[in-house]
């Protein structure tokens, strides 16, 4: 029996998809039931029935609570899709829920579509709120929310319907990849990604997507190989330096330390030819990550070489965030070096 069938049959099981606060050091505050709720919402996308209104309303309301309490805030796929499914019922009683979603956190305030507020009643939205939810109307006015029906409302709805098809076979492969990641299904995500790679014509944009996606999946060798191909296409010194930095970091994550130290040497050549990196995040990140390489490299002489490069760059820039300086001090200790620029 699918999740959706269970929840349709027994409302007592809805506790499995209700907001349940949790916390850990890596994630901060989050909802322990967020993945189960997303799975239910995704099943509803492909099998929505008239009788599902209360279930959809409950799922969406719980997602609003989750957005309020999440350390990373965000809008999120579950909130966006849940809003679309609820709006399909065109019930004006849900307008306050859409307003709550809009004001759930900073990200939703900026990114959640105000059009949902008008989807059910269009020009009659303001009179309806005035008669039934005056406090909601006041909240909108106090936050400078326009109550004029957007001219593009029909086009917006058509775009949503296209973005959320009623059959999985009409989804794009990259959408299925992203959803598999959200559901912690990396093997499925890799399958969708590799299917997309096989079908997509070669382009720089394709390489960028591959690099980002392989990195998301922790496939650092594949991400490095793709970054290497991208690097060959770059002409400006800034782009070459940026991608060389990324490539060195990927080699480190893949524990390909010989390749990482070789890329650090290449970075030294690039940085020596210009000062345009000084005072910018690219310079700070490069110094910081070469210090990380000095910490991670299993061979002490190679680690000392990496540290010497970072120390030389810092002597030129004198620019490194506190966390970078802390890493540099650790690297100096690991490399058995004491009197260096980082420590002065």
Mark which of 118, 133, 163 sits at the end of a domain.
163
Q: Of 77, 80, 66, whose CA–CA distance to 17 is shortest?
A: 66
Q: What number is the average pLDDT over the span 192-213?
A: 98
pLDDT the model gives residue 344: 55
Say how many domains are in the chain.
Answer: 3
SS3 29: strand
Dihedral angle computed from the Cα positions of residues 179, 181, 184 and 188, in that order, rounded to the nearest 10 degrees: 80
Residue 190 lies in a domain: yes
Same domain, 82 and 158: yes
Same domain, 205 and 158: no
Is the per-residue pLDDT at 157 higher than 80? yes
- 169-186 residue pLDDT tens: 999 999 999 999 988 899
User: In this predicted model, which residue has the larger pLDDT, 150 or 289?
Assistant: 289
Domain boundaries, position 10: 3-163
Q: Residue 23: what are its φ and ψ, rounded to 5°?
A: -155, 140
Same domain, 137 and 75: yes
- Across the chain, the runs of DSSP E, i.e. the strands, are 21-24, 28-31
pLDDT the model gives residue 149: 87
Residue 222 lies in a domain: no
pLDDT the model gives residue 1: 73
Residue 22 lies in a domain: yes
DSSP class of residue 150 equals: P
Q: Let me know how long the chain is.
A: 344
Contact 17, 62 (CB under 8 A): yes
Residue 18 lies in a domain: yes
Same domain, 194 and 302: no
- Joined together, the tokens standing for residue 224 give 């490095």
pLDDT the model gives residue 26: 85
Q: Of 217, 171, 170, 169, whose CA–CA distance to 193 is shortest?
A: 217
Contact 57, 75 (CB under 8 A): no
Distance CA 240, CA 132 (A): 60
Distance CA 96, CA 137 (A): 9
Same domain, 150 and 8: yes
Distance CA 179, CA 38 (A): 9
Residue 144 — pLDDT band, cuts 50, 70, 90? confident
Residue 229 lies in a domain: no
Count of beta carbons in the 10 Å neighbourhood of residue 97: 20
Distance CA 286, CA 25 (A): 26
pLDDT the model gives residue 343: 52
Q: What number is the average pLDDT over the span 265-269?
A: 97
Is the per-residue pLDDT at 245 higher than 70? yes
pLDDT the model gives residue 83: 98
Q: What is the mean pLDDT of the chain?
A: 94
- Joined together, the tokens standing for residue 190 give 């890799």
Same domain, 201 and 242: no
Contact 92, 128 (CB under 8 A): yes
pLDDT the model gives residue 340: 58
Residue 308 lies in a domain: yes
- 287-343 residue pLDDT tens: 999 999 999 999 999 999 999 999 999 999 999 999 999 999 999 999 987 645 655
Residue 227 lies in a domain: no
Percent of the chain with pLDDT strictly greater than 90: 92
Find where tokens 């802390």 sit.
326
pLDDT the model gives residue 145: 73
Residue 285 — pLDDT band, cuts 50, 70, 90? very high
Residue 41 lies in a domain: yes
| Bridge partners for 29 per DSSP | 23
- 91-136 residue pLDDT tens: 999 999 999 999 999 999 999 999 999 999 999 999 999 999 999 9
Contact 40, 81 (CB under 8 A): no
Same domain, 19 and 144: yes
Same domain, 50 and 15: yes
Same domain, 11 and 147: yes
List, in order, residues 6 or more apart from 101 with CB less than 8 Å away. 60, 63, 64, 67, 79, 83, 108, 112, 116
Same domain, 135 and 261: no
User: In this predicted model, which residue has the larger pLDDT, 27 or 122?
Assistant: 122
Q: What number is the average pLDDT over the span 200-225?
A: 98
């Amino acid at each position: 029996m699918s999740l959706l069938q269970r929840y349709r049959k027994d409302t007592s099981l809805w506790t499995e998809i209700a907001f349940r606060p949790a916390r850990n050091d890596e994630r901060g505050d989050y909802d322990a039931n967020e993945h189960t709720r997303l799975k239910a919402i995704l099943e509803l996308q492909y099998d929505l029935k008239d009788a599902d209104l209360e279930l959809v309303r409950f799922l969406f309301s719980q997602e609003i609570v989750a957005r309020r309490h999440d350390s990373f805030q965000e809008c999120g796929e579950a909130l966006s899709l849940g809003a679309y499914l609820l709006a399909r019922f065109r019930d004006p009683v849900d307008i306050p829920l859409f307003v709550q979603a809009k004001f759930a956190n900073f990200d939703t305030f900026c990114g959640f579509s105000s059009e949902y507020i008008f989807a059910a009643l269009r020009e009659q939205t303001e009179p309806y709120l005035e008669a039934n939810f005056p406090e909601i109307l006041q909240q909108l006015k106090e936050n400078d929310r326009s109550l004029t029906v957007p001219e593009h409302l029909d086009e917006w709805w058509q775009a949503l319907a296209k973005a959320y098809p009623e059959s999985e076979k009409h989804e794009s492969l990259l959408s299925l990849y992203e959803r598999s990641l959200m559901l912690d299904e990396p093997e499925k995500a890799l399958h969708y990604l590799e299917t997309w790679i096989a079908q997509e014509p070669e382009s720089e944009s394709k390489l960028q997507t591959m690099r980002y996606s392989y990195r998301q999946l922790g496939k650092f060798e594949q991400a490095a190989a793709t970054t290497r191909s991208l690097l060959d296409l770059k002409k400006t010194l800034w782009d070459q330096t940026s991608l060389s930095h990324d490539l060195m970091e990927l080699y480190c994550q893949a524990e390909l330390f010989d390749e990482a130290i070789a890329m650090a040497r290449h970075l030294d050549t690039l940085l020596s030819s210009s000062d345009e990196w000084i005072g910018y995040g690219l310079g700070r990140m490069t110094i910081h990550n070469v210090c990380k390489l000095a910490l991670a490299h299993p061979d002490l002489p190679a680690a000392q070489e990496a540290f010497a490069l970072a120390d030389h760059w810092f002597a030129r820039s004198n620019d490194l965030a506190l966390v970078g300086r802390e890493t540099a001090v650790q690297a100096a200790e690991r490399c058995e070096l004491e009197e260096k620029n980082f420590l002065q």
